[in-house]
Amino acid sequence: MSAVSLPRSPQRLRRALLGAACLMAAGVARAARPAVLLRLSHVVAPDTPKGQMAQRFQALVHQRAGGRIRVEVHPDSSLWGDDDEMEALRLGAVEMLAPSLSKFGMAGVPEFEVFDLPYLFADLAQVRRVTQGDVGRELLQRLGRQQMLGLGFLDNGFKQMSAPRPLRAPSDYRGLRVRVQASRVLGEQMRALGAQAVVLPFAETQRALATGVVDAAENPLSNFLTQGLAALQPHLTLTQHGYLGYAVVTHPRFWASLSPGDRELLEAALAEALAHGNRLAAALDAQALATLQRTPDLQVHSLAADERATLRRHLQPVFDGFQRSFGPSLLRDVQRAVDGRS
Ligand code: LMR
């Protein structure tokens, strides 16, 4: 057994103890400085599926990494917004994003706009058969073309229309200026209804509605509620006409810079956080609906089955047109997954 030799004189002992204390303090300081900083930037409020997923991811990583990895969550476009977040990722000014699937088209991966097709999905179970299966895996791989590493999918929910009037029939859309995300499918969808599509970053939507730059918007309910849009839009029509979800992405260079152990830790924490967000999505949607139905000065309109069928028929040419532009196999694979045939 090796013995520790102690200094004999009290002075030398004091000096040795002081030296050891200094070394320990330096060690603590070193341990307190994280070896990895991961900034996760997103554009929505914390109380949404994406906001909650991000917070869960942060908590899990901090719990497990013992101070070695620090996750900073920047919600509400407080670090980067729709216009600059993907460029920031490429430049290493942020390490993780969760843009909506609609935003990857303009970033050079147009296949992601397939998710914007009107009435492609009837419910979240159908969405998950696509995102959690082979088609989803294949789509995430395609992000590599634009120097993004796709790590997983997250749901928000189905979009509903808000406007100065109820939107029961296709003709009710005529002449409205509607804020949309930068997606060709969403632009075409509004044009097919006789509305003008106005592409704006998410962070500018509220001001654009308040100042009359746009008249109407399409949002899942948790976004509509948490952005305070109920105070600006007197009518909310539950059209359920399209899906809004996300892909979590990082930069391959950042991911490669991590140790295998840290990568594994982050992957496991993210998988759990995404499962948490996906579990919450439907509940947050239902909660938001209940709150909005009680909101004074907001009228919530449900569509009858035949009204929904008419809207869907009206949007069918958009669906058919993009079917050609995506190429036959992508939509076929998506529809097979939706129907549970793959
Ligand atoms: C939008 O721009 O409307 C959405 O993509 C916002 C979001 O991230 O949910």
Q: Tens of pLDDT along 113-148?
A: 999 999 999 999 999 999 999 999 999 999 999 999
102 CA to middle of ligand 1, Å? 9
pLDDT cut 70: percent of the chain above it = 91
Mean pLDDT of 222-244: 98
Across the chain, mean pLDDT equals: 92
- Count of other CB atoms within 10 angstroms of residue 335: 16
Atom of ligand 1 nearest to the CA of 100: 5
Residue having the nearest C-alpha atom to atom 2 of ligand 1: 202
224 lines ligand 1 (CB under 6 A): no
Ligand 1 atom nearest the C-alpha of 220 is: 9
Q: Is 43 in the pocket of ligand 1 (CB under 6 A)?
A: yes
Q: Which pLDDT band holds residue 325 (cuts at 50, 70, 90)?
A: confident
Is residue 11 predicted with pLDDT exceeding 70? no
Q: Residue 43 C-alpha to ligand 1 middle, in angstroms?
A: 7
Mean pLDDT across the stretch 203-228?
A: 98
Residues 331 and 146: their CA atoms lie apart, in Å, by 22
Q: What percent of the chain stands above pLDDT 90?
A: 87
Which domains does the chain carry? 4-338 (3.40.190.170)
Q: Give the Cα separation of 192 and 100 in Å (integer).
A: 23
48 CA: nearest ligand 1 atom: 9
How far is 342 from 332, CA to CA, in rounded Å?
Answer: 11
Reported as half-sphere exposure (CB side, CA atoms, 13 A), residue 307 has a value of: 15
How many of the other CB atoms lie within 10 Å of CB of 123?
Answer: 12
181 lines ligand 1 (CB under 6 A): yes
**Ligand 1 mean position, distance from CA 50 (Å):** 10
| Atom nearest to 223 CA in ligand 1 | 9
Answer for the pair 88, 80: CB distance below 8 angstroms, yes or no: yes
Following CA atoms 223, 189, 329, 135 in sequence, which dihedral angle do they give, to the nearest 10 degrees?
Answer: 0
44 lines ligand 1 (CB under 6 A): yes
Q: Stretch 258-277: mean pLDDT, rounded?
A: 98
CA of 44 to the centre of ligand 1 (A): 7
Whether 299 contacts 166, CB under 8 Å: yes
Distance 264 CA to ligand 1 centre (A): 29
State the pLDDT at residue 32.
59
